[in-house]
Structure 1
């Protein structure tokens, strides 16, 4: 596909817009516009959420089955998502914000 065809009148603006809208996720334009977020699909986001939930349930299991004298295990950090620089807030920060802790 030659983009000069648009200037030559052989490629309509509508067709050019459709081609740009349906570029693959790893196209240079998508990477330039959206950064690493363009590399993550819906499946990737869902898998990251599943991993976060699994880590939390393992943490809960460890909390319930630990000796009372032992230090509690640290709450797991969620996986870093595209565009995030730091993991999400700690449970204590959320509880303090909501006024429940």
Structure 2
């Protein structure tokens, strides 16, 4: 097909629209318009969803069967990366609380005024 046929009268605007609307999902036009997400077929999307559901199910099953005093042995599962999803934000850097901050937090929890922190005593 030659796009010049549109101006020569051999191709109508309606026919061009029908051709474009029925292009395959992995066509060059779809890749240009939708980026990497055009490479994912419906099957790929469903498989990624199934993997996410399976991981979450396993995590939830372990969490439900843990004792009250036990902590989950691994963090919650991350979803399979998809091109159209934003990258997950990295977890905040761990920071150790100072002894004064700990004393303030405990005092607030106990509704008492905080005592000044004195090292070694």
| TM-score of the pair, normalised by structure 2 | 0.62
Match of 1:13 in 2: 13
Deviations 1:5-44 (CA, angstroms, capped at 9, x unpaired) = 1111101111011111111112111111111121222222
State the superposition RMSD in angstroms. 2.2
- Cα distance between partner residues in 2 of 1:71 and 1:80: 24
Question: In the alignment, is the contact (CA less than 8 A) between 2:62 and 2:72 conserved in 1?
Answer: no
Match of 1:95 in 2: none
- Cα distance between partner residues in 2 of 1:62 and 1:36: 35
The ranges of structure 1 where at least 4 consecutive aligned residues each deviate by more than 6 angstroms after the TM superposition are none
Question: In the alignment, is the contact (CA less than 8 A) between 1:48 and 1:79 conserved in 2?
Answer: yes
Point out the structure with the larger helix share. Answer: 1
Q: Compute the displacement of 1:55 (Å).
A: 0.3
The answer for unaligned runs of 5 or more in structure 2 is 90-121
Greater shift after overlay, 74-83 or 35-44? 35-44
- Cα distance between partner residues in 1 of 2:52 and 2:8: 52
- Cα distance between partner residues in 1 of 2:45 and 2:35: 15
Match of 2:50 in 1: 50
Match of 1:98 in 2: none
The answer for unaligned runs of 5 or more in structure 1 is 89-101
